[in-house]
Amino acid sequence: MKKNTFMASLLLMSGIILAQNGQTKSYKAAGKNVTVYTTAENTEFRLTKSGTAAFGDSKQPLETEVSVFISPDITFQSIMGIGGAITDASAEVLAKLPADKQKELINAYYDTDKGIGYSIIRTNIHSCDFSSGSYTYVKEGDKTLKSFDISHDKKYRIPMIKDALKTAGNHVTVYVSPWSPPAYMKDSKNMLKGGKLLPEFRQLWADYYVKFIQAYEKEGIPIWGTTVQNEPMATQTWESCIYTAEDERDFLKSYLGPTMAKAFPDKKIVVWDHNRDLMNQRANVIFSDPEASKYAWGTGFHWYETWAGGKPMFDNTRKVHEAYPDKNLLFTEGCVENFNAAKYQFWPNGERYGEQMINDFNNGTTGWTDWNILLDENGGPNHVGNFCFAPVHADTKTGQLIYTPSYYYIGHFSKFIQPEAKRVSSAVSRSMLQSASFINKDGKMATVVMNSSDKAVAYNLIIGTDKVNLSIPAHGIQTLVY
């Protein structure tokens, strides 16, 4: 009797341990069909349903075979969503298009059937580089914020955000970011070219975030949260403000955190919002201080650490996730820099998105946000000439929309990976392929497979003792739904 009781307890404890590790024994592939959606260079495939296949019995794969191994019962982080930024630039360009093209663009991003089902929107607190000019919501020198007024945003940006929310059925997370305090709050007396927030204006600047959120929510736009500062270690030619790690920690701990908690107990605050290169140091300084850490939902990051050469520093993302598993990771911005209209269909731009998204999700990222969702035929508007690519461009002279490979690569994730999905274990046996897998709340799996090589690759999709034989074109990306 004692032996049986001991064995029962041991089995129960094993089950608890498995559950704590994110492991359950529930998913069965046998009898399921796989639907394949493909985008590939030098083909007509653009998020195209390219085939179906059925799972069959799997034997031990050979070393000569290429395989993607999925373990749906081993789960990791929940997915918050995937989306992009609605900036002044995006909204101003949209307003220049014919009504039918405006609707097409909104559907292309936010309709889950006609488009790619974006579920995240980032937007700017007053002006950023992708605005036609610098502006704030207050009169210069206003130390009471009584002049606070978001009328500027009601012309273009707020209507676009509302259209996006309506099209998405309001199933969208909206968060905000400031690029700079007003000039009078800074030591440089200039919104552009860096400078720092003056100590005497820390509380007023924290109050400014609250005013903005209140004003947007009064317009019917629910705000999930805010980042502390866009790119706090970059002195840019556009709106920018410098915070050392200690500056950001102290502003969060003593001003922004308590102010937001009092006004909006449920709103989230994201720190850093800059490149992967320094994200470990920033997380260490802020999260090691309990009084600052309690206000931080997680770390935001960008992909521009490659500006000085080298490769993306994906390991830094993983290290922050491992060091602070109770905090979240949010990719807050990325784009292809240096606009050139001759490269609208430059395929490596799309592959850059695929590689970044696969690695970021596999390293613990819970949400992923592209930069501008729409720009014009010059890569703007931008009031300092910092032109770049967007997944979709508009030729405002002809009223046409240009869809780039980046749009389709992002869509292979955003269209099939729903908010609250969980990432599951996914591994490849050969380096020419990359993969990430997710299980949605409805139980459907979505596995993204990317081939950046110059040759088509035949591969197995293997789940336990079940497999499907598939093939992916050269320079292609597929989403497998099953």
Active site residue ranges:
231, 333
Residue 148 burial (CB count, 10 A): 17
Report which of 475, 474, 422, 401 is spatially closest to residue 103, judged by C-alpha positions. Answer: 401
Report residue 321: phi and psi, to 5°. -60, -40
Q: How far apart are CA 373 and CA 48, in angstroms?
A: 21
Strands 120-125 and 173-178: parallel
Sign of the CA dihedral 270, 303, 87, 77?
A: negative
Q: What angle in degrees, to the nearest 10, is found between the helix axes of 279-287 and 314-323?
A: 10
Q: Which residues of 358-392 are buried (b: 16+ CB within 10 A; e: fewer)?
A: bbbbbbbbbbbbbbbbbbbbebbbbbbebbbbbbb
Q: How far apart are the C-alpha atoms of 33 and 118, rounded to whole Å? A: 26
Length of the chain: 482
Handedness of CA 244, 364, 117, 109 (dihedral sign): positive
**CB 361, CB 318: distance < 8 Å:** no
Residues in CB range of 248: below 8 A, 6 or more apart: 228, 229, 232, 271, 272, 282, 285, 286
| Helices 88-95/157-167 angle, 10° precision | 80
Strand partners, 37: 49, 479
**DSSP assignments along 128-168, one per residue:** -TTSSS---SS-TT-SS-TT---HHHHTTHHHHHHHHHHHT
How far is Cα 354 from Cα 46, in angstroms, rounded to an integer? 14
β-pair type (422-428, 433-439): antiparallel
Helices (H), 363-445: 405-414
Give the C-alpha separation, 178 to 185, whole Å: 13
Let me know: does 286 contact 316? Beta carbons within 8 Å. no
User: Rounded CA gap, 334 and 469, in Å?
Assistant: 34
